[in-house]
Structure 1
Amino acid sequence: MRDPAGYDGQREMILSNAAQLFAQRGYAGTSMNEVAAACGVSKATLYHYVRDKHDLAVRIAEEHVQRLEAVVEQVMREHSTPEARLAALIRSFVAEYAVAQNAQRVLTEDVRFLREEDQARIVGVERRVVAAFARTIAEVRGEAAGSKLGKPMAMLLFGMINWMFTWMKPNRELDHEAIGEIVSDLFFGGVRAVELPPALAPKGKRAAVGPR
């Protein structure tokens, strides 16, 4: 009888090592031989856990984005005010990326290599995550869920945190927990100050001019 704990542990090890290789070399530049070598297993053993390289990338990206969606759902359940939800979302995502930066890189850079149906499924989850951030930002600003600025500001926020792996080094004084607080403070410091450009603002409402 297969040991579920042993099987799942081996599978997680394979996904983790493959994500690291994809992040370092890219999906196209990584072979299954290299994945097997990094995992210390034979190719036959590797194919016991995944069908092929495409299946491997799908599992890495999809399971990662599903974890992010689970984080969103938990935050929404646990925090009653939009301010508390947004702050918790920011801190939680920074913390998640601290342990999943390779998977995040696969999600942002390698999904384009996947089959259309797999891309669509993964991107669909991504869009739900972005929509949750956008709604929460709109609520913080006192606007309707369909606010014109909700999604653009959500994407700007993701731009701040999605690429931390390109410059943040481990074992520095500012760890991911501290960076999460900084990002939260930085975003909240300006989230209410943003106005639509005059050309896009509703008639009768002009953008504020000068310091606010």
Structure 2
Amino acid sequence: MARTQASDHQLQRDEILERAAQAFASHSYPGTSMSLLAKACGTSKARLYHYYASKEAILFDLLDRYTRVLIALAEKHADLANLIAAFLAEYEHSQTRHIALLNDVKFLEEPQRELILTAQRTIVNLFAEAIQRRFPQRTDAQNRSAITMLLFGMINWTFTWLKPHQDADKMSYADFAVLVTQIFMHGMEALPERPDNLSKTAT
């Protein structure tokens, strides 16, 4: 008869992922061993293997859960300004997970790596659709990707410098979201309308 999982099994996994994200951010993924992870979790390596078969399994679960959160946010907030604010609010509390997403996908084996890359492409496409809805006359197939990645370039690396919890003089994430939105929106509005889109509008 199969052994049933303890009622706190999911809670234990959440705690492991939280500690693992911190360890990967502090020591790098290659520099983090299962022994180090067990120590960070305050448990034995044998106990850690009860929850995860390998360090890679921990990394995949961490990235899979985090990208699912981001996809859900992007699907929920169709308005571009709300989308930017929602992502930066999430980034504020998920800095170590975001570091892993940006730096450690390459350490996954196929097909897990492709699953995370597909999730990342989904997030980018949802942003691109939000931008195109807001600026239909200024985006097309030629510039859509560049504009979308420009916006991600503004928000994706905030964990390297925006740390209001460490410095009271730092701008808050909420205020930074307003600043990004203003700069991006005004920049998009200053772009000339795309010729192809003008002809489509005329017809």
Aligned Cα root-mean-square deviation (Å): 2.1
Deviation at 1:167, TM superposition (A): 0.6
TM-score, normalised with respect to structure 1: 0.83
SS at match of 2:77: helix
Retained in 2: the 8 A contact 1:135–1:145? no
| Among 45, 49, 52, the residue aligned to 1:50 | 52
Q: Is the contact made by 1:32 and 1:53 (CA closer than 8 Å) also made in structure 2? A: yes
Bigger drift between 141-150 and 63-72 goes to 141-150
Residues 12-161 of structure 1 aligned to structure 2 (within 5 Å)? 12-76=14-78, 85-143=79-137, 146-161=140-155
**Structure 1 position 40, deviation (Å):** 0.3
Gaps of 5+ in 2: 199-203
After TM superposition, give the deviation of residue 195 of structure 1 in Å.
Answer: 5.0
SS of equivalent residue, structure 1 residue 142: coil
1:27 aligns to what SS in structure 2?
Answer: coil
2-side partners of 1:179 and 1:169: how far apart?
Answer: 11
Residues 152/36 of structure 1: CA separation in 2 closer, same or farther (3 Å cut): same
> What is the SS of the residue equivalent to 1:155?
helix
| AA partner of residue 176 (structure 1) | Y
Contact 1:101-1:165 within 8 A present in 2 as well: yes
The whole-number CA distance in structure 1 between the counterparts of 2:46 and 2:137 is: 55
> 1:79 matched to which residue of 2?
none
Is the Cα–Cα contact under 8 Å of residues 75 and 126 in structure 2 kept in the other structure? no
1:82 aligned partner: none
Deviation digits for residues 47-87 of structure 1, max 9, x if unmatched? Answer: 111110110111111111111001111113xxxxxxxx100
Measured after TM superposition, the shift of residue 151 of structure 1 is: 1.8
Please, which of 172, 189, 192 is the counterpart of residue 192 of structure 1? 189
Asked if the contact 2:56–2:108 (Cα under 8 Å) also holds between the matched residues in 1, the reply is yes
- Matched-pair contact (CA < 8 Å) for 2:88–2:174: yes
> What amino acid does structure 1 have at the position aligned with 2:188?
V
Partners of 1:193 and 1:3 in 2: how far apart? 58
1: CA distance, partners of 2:106 / 2:192? 34
Q: Does 1:163 align with 2:157?
A: yes
Q: Distance in 1 between matches of 2:120 and 2:85?
A: 18
The answer as to whether partners of 2:138 and 2:192 remain within 8 angstroms in 1 is no
CA positional deviation for 1:118: 0.9
What SS does structure 1 have at the residue aligned with 2:32? Answer: coil
CA distance in 2, matches of 1:202, 1:181: 30
Partner Cα separation in structure 1 for residue 192 and residue 45 of structure 2: 56
Deviation at 1:140, TM superposition (A): 1.5
